[in-house]
Amino acid sequence: MPIKQINTADLLFRNPPRPIGGPPSSGVTRSGTVSQTTSTKGEIKNNPMAKSISGGGPNATRLREALTQLGYREKGIEIDNGGDISTNMTDACISVFKKIKELHPTYKIIVSGGNDFYHHQLGYISRHTTGNAMDFVVHPHEDHDLDNVVNILRGFAKGLNPNFRFIDEYRHLTSAGTGNHFHMSWGKGTEGQASLTEALNNSPVSYNMT
């Protein structure tokens, strides 16, 4: 009996697209820069076509330069291995990271997701896939450290209202989240509305882009 040839490129697109704006019903998870997909039998298999190169876009390059200057770093090449990030998101990220460095110079920041390959495999359009979202982690991350970062993010949410949004996914991990982190995004809408409302009502400071 002849062996059927399978084009590995088809493996990425075997499942039909999920509705725009909604989380996937079953999983694509991330391990480093290797994408994994869930088969019909529920088995997790490594995707051999996981993208592991930077798009080399000007905004991603500018953010990487800022991270280097601040002594921060990126996990792998998660900023743009799915495409460049927007100018507004870049400016917002740089401003936030500069403020963290100014107020808490001993903190270590690692950018863990942007317009990255993982988010493109979830099957729906999001702020990540349009270059308007960024994830990062902070070390140390005791409760008071997280509170310090949240206070900074609230200041930017208040000062850049209504476009700057954030979610504390250390304490409120979303359905597509793969680990504790802070999520920042740019653009009007419903994302992060609770955090924005809290910032507008209670933040004693207001920050703008620098």
DSSP assignment of 108-164 equals EEEEEESS-HHHHTTSS--TTTTT-EEEEEEES--HHHHHHHHHHHHHHHHHTTTTE
Two structure tokens written together for 44: 């997790």
Which amino acid is located at 34 in the chain?
V
| Structure confidence by residue, pLDDT tens digits, 126-142 | 999 999 999 999 999 99
| Angle made by CA atoms 154, 157, 159, in degrees to the nearest 5 | 110
**pLDDT band, residue 51 (cuts 50/70/90):** low
DSSP string, 13-36: GSSPPPPTTS--SS-EEEETTEEE
The residue among 38 and 90 whose pLDDT is bigger is 90
The residue among 47 and 81 whose pLDDT is bigger is 81
The whole-angstrom separation of Cα 185 and Cα 165 is 5
| Structure confidence by residue, pLDDT tens digits, 6-38 | 343 333 333 333 333 333 332 333 333 333 333
Q: Report pTM.
A: 0.76
**Other CB atoms within 10 Å distance of the CB of residue 91:** 18
| Structure confidence by residue, pLDDT tens digits, 150-191 | 999 999 999 999 999 999 999 988 877 778 999 999 999 999
SS3 assignment, position 178:
coil
Domains of the chain and CATH, by start: 53-202 (3.30.1380)
DSSP run (H or E) holding 88: helix 87-103
**Other CB atoms within 10 Å distance of the CB of residue 111:** 22
Which amino acid is located at 156 in the chain?
F
- Percent residues over pLDDT 90 in the chain: 69
